[in-house]
Every structure is written in structure tokens, then in C-alpha cells.
């Protein structure tokens, strides 16, 4: 599933073609994805100007002139693809419709935004902008890792007394929003913290040092356009490149990248998900 850097990459790619532009027509080609679409979604989108595109955790939010917000979740395989951009930033002509093009936004400026999702685990909803943060998918989210509310004192307090492994705690969206399996593995490696350690038993100093590491990993991944492993593509169809910088993720059996470490990367399963780490460097 796309994590924060991939979703932020998509948001940034959509912004030039959508922000300030009007949706001339919306084609909704099925009644649902993971959940049913809201009533009259195509009619409610048609004619609306997109005032702002923002991101919360792994969700893209398009604030509309109608005081409604279009919430978009990419799910496991969802892609937002742009074609025909009149600003000249995208070289793709409008492609022929594909089987899994479930929602298509025809922008008045000539751009076309296509939501393609073969597995249909994505979602869209329309909500009142004024109360968008109260939506069930957003209401209990923790702070953004790149935001001011995510700092050493906060993380120390959030993890205090927790018996869950630090890997599971950082994946808990109520503690910090947007982190997923890839970037938690990478951050714990850089911080030399074992993913198996109980979150509440890690020293305050090490927890404090973890905060800037998480920020750095996320910022670097965004700069690289995210990570493309299976389905993820940027809005112009290109791949992300952060997967070429992985220190541990998906490197089972390969040497630890630290020159003074003789160990190899190991893989274990935690809560049904693969964890990659160095048992020598990470304690």
C-alpha cells in the first residue's frame, strides 16, 4: 500500500493540473470501490473548482468551491494518472479507456485525471470541508511526521509504558500518521533500534533521536518520488526511486550496509507483516 511519501508525491503531481481548475465533468464508472461511492458523486463534482489539494496521512483531500472535500485513498493498487495537461508538464496524450478506470475527472483546462485501481481497495468520499477532520478515516490520526506536532516530547509520551514492539507502535496511525512498513523498517535501521524491542522500554534519549531520523527518511523518500515496488506510479506514470536507497527493506540475506558490520539483513514476521533488520546493528 502506498505510504506517506508515495501519496505526497501523487498530491504534488496533481496540484499543477487541479488546483484552481474546474471539474468540467466526472465519469463514475462503477457504484463502489472498497466502499460505495457517495450519492450523486458525479453530479456533485461536475462544475466545481478545486480550491486546494492537501494530504492527511495516506489520504489526498481536494477542497472544492462547493464547501465539500473529495477524499481519495489509493488503496493497494490505485493510481491517479494525468493526461493532456495544458500547462505542458505532462507529455501524455489522453489514453484509451482501460478496464479499471473507475473515476475520471475531465478538467476544464484540458487535463484528465484518471483513478485506476485493479484491486478496488481504494476509496473516494465527499464530505463537508468544515468538518473533514471528523471523518471516521481521519478523526483518530496522530500527528504528521513532518509537522510541528511531531517532536521528541510527544513521541516519548506516546510510547511511554507501551508493551508493543516499537515496529508495531510506529505503524499505529494513532501515534504517528502516514508511516508504513517500508519507512518504519528504514528508520529503525538508521536509529539502530531493534524492531522487536518493547516501545516503552527504549530509553528516552533513543526515542528522542528517532524523531529526526523518521523525518529524514520521509523527506528523502518524497524527494525521490516515493518507492515503486509493484503498483505505485507517479501521476505521469513514472516510477519512484527511493527503493534504490533501501538499507534493509526487501534485502533479506544481503550484507548490512554498514562497513564495520559483518551481519546480513534478516526478515521476521510481526503482526502478519515482514520486518527487515540487522540483528547486529539494531539493539
- How are beta strands 79-83 and 112-116 bridged, if at all? antiparallel
The pLDDT-based confidence of 106 (bands split at 50, 70, 90) is very high
24-55 pLDDT, tens digit each: 999 999 999 999 999 999 999 999 999 999 99
Q: Is the pLDDT of residue 229 over 70?
A: no
Which pLDDT does position 245 carry in this prediction? 84
Mean pLDDT of 122-138: 97
Which pLDDT does position 236 carry in this prediction? 55
Cα 159 off chain centre by: 23
Q: Is the pLDDT of residue 231 over 60?
A: no
- What single string gives the DSSP state of each residue in the chain? ---HHHHHHHHHHHHHHHTT-BEEEEEE-SSBSSSBPPTTHHHHHTT-BEEEEEEETTEEEEEETTSEEEEEE-TTT-EEEEE--TTSS--PPPPPP-TTEEEEEEETTS-EEEEE-SS---EEEEEEGGGGGGSTTTTT----TTSTT--HHHHHHHHTT--SBHHHHHH-TTTSSS--HHHHHHHHHHTT--TTSBGGGS-HHHHHHHHHHHHHHHHHHHHTT---SSS---TTSPPP-GGGG-SSTT-TTSBPSSTT---BEEEEEETTEEEEEETTT--
Catalytic residues: 2-3, 58, 273
Q: Could you tell me if 265 and 278 are in contact, meaning their C-beta atoms sit under 8 angstroms apart? A: yes
CATH of 152-278, one of 3.10.450.50, 1.10.3210.10, 1.10.8.50, 3.30.43.10: 1.10.8.50
Mean pLDDT of 66-90: 84
Range picked from 3-12, 53-62, 221-230, 242-251 for highest mean pLDDT: 53-62
Residues 75, 1: Cα–Cα separation, whole Å: 6
Cα 258 off chain centre by: 28
The pLDDT-based confidence of 59 (bands split at 50, 70, 90) is very high
Q: Is the pLDDT of residue 96 over 50?
A: yes
- How are beta strands 273-278 and 123-128 bridged, if at all? unpaired
CATH code for the domain defined by 4-134: 3.20.190.10
Which pLDDT does position 232 carry in this prediction? 45
φ, ψ (nearest 5 deg) of residue 101:
-80, 95
pTM above 0.75, yes or no: yes
The C-alpha cell 496524450 sits at 93
Task: From 144, 175, 160, select the one nearest 207 (Cα to Cα).
Answer: 160
- The domain limits of the chain are 4-134, 152-278
Which pLDDT does position 128 carry in this prediction? 98
More confident residue, 78 or 62: 62
Domains 4-134 and 152-278 share a fold: no
Residues 26, 141: Cα–Cα separation, whole Å: 30
Mean pLDDT of 81-101: 74
Which pLDDT does position 223 carry in this prediction? 85
Residues 199, 202: Cα–Cα separation, whole Å: 6
Q: Among 5-9, 64-68, 104-108, 251-255, whose mean pLDDT is lowest?
A: 5-9
Q: Could you tell me if 236 and 82 are in contact, meaning their C-beta atoms sit under 8 angstroms apart? A: yes
Mean pLDDT of 173-193: 96
Q: Is the pLDDT of residue 205 over 50?
A: yes
Residues 236, 208: Cα–Cα separation, whole Å: 38
Amino acid at each position: 500500500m502506498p505510504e506517506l511519501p508515495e501519496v505526497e508525491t501523487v498530491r504534488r503531481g496533481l496540484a499543477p493540473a487541479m488546483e484552481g481548475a474546474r471539474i468540467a465533468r466526472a465519469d463514475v464508472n462503477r457504484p463502489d470501490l472498497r466502499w460505495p461511492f457517495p450519492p450523486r458523486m458525479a453530479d456533485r463534482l461536475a462544475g466545481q473548482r478545486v480550491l486546494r489539494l492537501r494530504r492527511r496521512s495516506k489520504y489526498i483531500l481536494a477542497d472544492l468551491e462547493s464547501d465539500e472535500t473529495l477524499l481519495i485513498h489509493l488503496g493497494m493498487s490505485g493510481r491517479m494518472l494525468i493526461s493532456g495537461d495544458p500547462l505542458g508538464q505532462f507529455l501524455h496524450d489522453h489514453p484509451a479507456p482501460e478496464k479499471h478506470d473507475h473515476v475520471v475527472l475531465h478538467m476544464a483546462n484540458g487535463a484528465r485525471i484518471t483513478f485506476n485501481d485493479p484491486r478496488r481497495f481504494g476509496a473516494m468520499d465527499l464530505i463537508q470541508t468544515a468538518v473533514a477532520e471528523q471523518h471516521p478515516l481521519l478523526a483518530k490520526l496522530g500527528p504528521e511526521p513532518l509537522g510541528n506536532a511531531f517532536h521528541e516530547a510527544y513521541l516519548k509520551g506516546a510510547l511511554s509504558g507501551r508493551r508493543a514492539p516499537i515496529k508495531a507502535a510506529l505503524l499505529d496511525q494513532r501515534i504517528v500518521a502516514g508511516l508504513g512498513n517500508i519507512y518504519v523498517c528504514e528508520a529503525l535501521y538508521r536509529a539502530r533500534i531493534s524492531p522487536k524491542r518493547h516501545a516503552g522500554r527504549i530509553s528516552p534519549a533513543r526515542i528522542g533521536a528517532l524523531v529526526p531520523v523518521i523525518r529524514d527518511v520521509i523527506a528523502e523518500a518524497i524527494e525521490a518520488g516515493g518507492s515503486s515496488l509493484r503498483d505505485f506510479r507517479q501521476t505521469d506514470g513514472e516510477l519512484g526511486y527511493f527503493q534504490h536507497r533501501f538499507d534493509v527493506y526487501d534485502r533479506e540475506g544481503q550484507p548490512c550496509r554498514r562497513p564495520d558490520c559483518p551481519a546480513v539483513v534478516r526478515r521476521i514476521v510481526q503482526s502478519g507483516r515482514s520486518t527487515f533488520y540487522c540483528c547486529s546493528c539494531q539493539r
